[in-house]
Structure 1
């Protein structure tokens, strides 16, 4: 295991609860002035996970959008909160969005380990949350998510979530090793397809990305009930090496749960194996973070099954070199 896991990702996953414990202390000094007519979180890859999690977890009274693009939504103006998230601080798409947000005089908050984003925030006199370095962006979910909850609380955009954060940290101490090993063994040589409700799209999306980046293999995701209006037909003639994972939350809408149950049988009848996971736990944040942590472990153990270093992202880095530095 040590020969494959060269950068000791297993330690990062085992200590995710400690990351969250540390992260909950960040961002407590930042207050964004009201009024706010909408919130946009700009980020890519693992840095956008924070936006996906916040979108699933929180009930906002204003529009909330995750922007995985160079360009902001057209509706952004001077009363919009634009959160620019880039773990490295150098991701070109959110940096481009930062410039547009500044031109529109939006209310900007940056979060990164440093880099150009920190410099731009200092220049613009925008609040900046500096998080610890030394992680892959996809493994920094705690550092990129919990400080933003603090900012939103401080700014009276959401209610206080301190108790739910503490509950989530406690839930993250539970071991996922054996369950993840078992799931990874089932997924070896398969193409995972992960389904969740639209409400909890963040879970299906993060599972898919963790399998892609950690295990270096193909995976896809979709959400109920959209997939019942198109993708369902693919099971008439499915690829033979699919493996479907359906993730149900205890608070999913009843009609969504019924769709999931019917879909499970339909997929199994087509000859494709299905793993049905039911999330439990007191708080929604605990269920979300525990589930994405399990997905991280699954990606990790599937990497070991594939003989791949779970941390290395060679193709991604080579692609960025070929792309070159953007012209300002």
Structure 2
């Protein structure tokens, strides 16, 4: 199959190009975060609250999964119009909205004013930029003009830098350099110029089927959510995600009916070497039970020397898969017409 031809036909706004540019976005986002954080001062902070939706919120999920035990305080991602008061004492609040116009995030910002110990914003501008400028809130300004889901580098790396600068996380510059080099190779490998690449292979298997994305509850938990939402928005397809071992306390029983639906499910299992050994055993038993019922199974082991490389390379693989799925569905991956319509209705 000629993937370049499909790209030319199906992708006039070049969502593929944005994903291929991720290593360059990493570099720019890293430097933006570093520059912004030079102005920040620390304080007594006992928790981190990131307010955001969609592509902005998933950046917070990814940071939490990546840093894991390197976090010096719990990180809560709030996808809501309001932040619960119990989260705000001694809290650093990061208000993240790519466009700056996300209704839930603007409302959440109003709910935390005067209550959080420290507040910073990550945005390309919009109403959030105006309000934070008025209120004297530090703003990490990121480049605009992209679909928010394609700008995850700009929500991820500034957040990492903020936590690092304020003494809330341990981060390695060498880890970043290794990750960027690895991601450069991945993006070249998954490019449409390589017709038999792994991302296209997985997308072909998912075409016409219902993807179930499973992960261990550690490094890949946020990645599984990202795969799911990218398949939704880019691939214009339904998808489901869940994590071990919670799903073995409920979802496993659901693999009985309806039988015609089970035969339309393709499982993607995201697996990392740091997953808990008992979680790995539960996963292997589960997949042994379920694989005969499903239409297919892909077991994807994370690649890379360190956590940053492994989490980002697995995420980027899913981004490529979602775009190829759009091509195979005969659809442009960029438009999100139902989201646009919903926002229009909300403004009426």
Interval of TM-score (by shorter of Structure 1 and Structure 2): over 0.9
Q: 1:32·1:107 contact (CA, 8 Å) conserved in 2? A: no
Q: What residue is the counterpart of 1:185 in the other structure?
A: 204
Q: What residue is the counterpart of 2:28 in the other structure?
A: 22
SS at match of 1:99: helix
Matched, 1:233 2:233: no
Q: What residue is the counterpart of 2:64 in the other structure?
A: 55
2:83 to 48, 63, 72: 72
TM-superposed CA distance for 1:74, in Å, is: 2.5
- Give deviations 1:44-65, integer Å, cap 9, x for gaps: 0111111111110113222210
2:232 to 207, 212, 220: 212
CA distance in 2, matches of 1:183, 1:221: 16
State the number of aligned residues. Answer: 325
CA distance in 2, matches of 1:103, 1:317: 33
Q: 1:250·1:280 contact (CA, 8 Å) conserved in 2? A: no
Q: 2:45·2:117 contact (CA, 8 Å) conserved in 1? A: no
Matched, 1:176 2:190: yes
Q: More helix per residue: 1 or 2?
A: 2
CA distance in 1, matches of 2:233, 2:19: 15
Q: What residue is the counterpart of 2:319 in the other structure?
A: 296
Tell me: CA distance 1:105–1:49, structure 2 relative to 1, closer, same or farther (3 Å). closer
Matched, 1:36 2:42: no
Moved more, 294-303 or 146-155: 146-155
TM-superposed CA distance for 1:201, in Å, is: 1.2
- Give deviations 1:21-52, integer Å, cap 9, x for gaps: 11110132242421101100011011111111
Q: What residue is the counterpart of 1:138 in the other structure?
A: 149
Q: 2:267·2:294 contact (CA, 8 Å) conserved in 1? A: no
- Give deviations 1:188-229, integer Å, cap 9, x for gaps: 100000000121211100000000000101101000011001
RMSD over aligned Cα atoms: 1.3
Q: 1:111·1:144 contact (CA, 8 Å) conserved in 2? A: yes
1:119 to 111, 124, 130: 130
Moved more, 255-264 or 155-164: 155-164
Matched, 1:287 2:310: yes
Tell me: CA distance 1:123–1:76, structure 2 relative to 1, closer, same or farther (3 Å). farther
Q: What residue is the counterpart of 1:197 in the other structure?
A: 216
SS at match of 1:40: strand
TM-superposed CA distance for 1:320, in Å, is: 0.6
Unaligned runs of at least 5 residues, structure 1: none
Q: What residue is the counterpart of 2:339 in the other structure?
A: 316
- Give deviations 1:61-99, integer Å, cap 9, x for gaps: 222100011111332335210001110010011111111
CA distance in 2, matches of 1:11, 1:280: 23
What's the TM-score once normalised by structure 2's chain length?
0.90
Q: What residue is the counterpart of 2:194 in the other structure?
A: none
Structure 1 stretches of 4+ with a deviation exceeding 3 A read none
2:105 to 84, 88, 94: 94
TM-superposed CA distance for 1:272, in Å, is: 3.5
Moved more, 248-257 or 103-112: 103-112
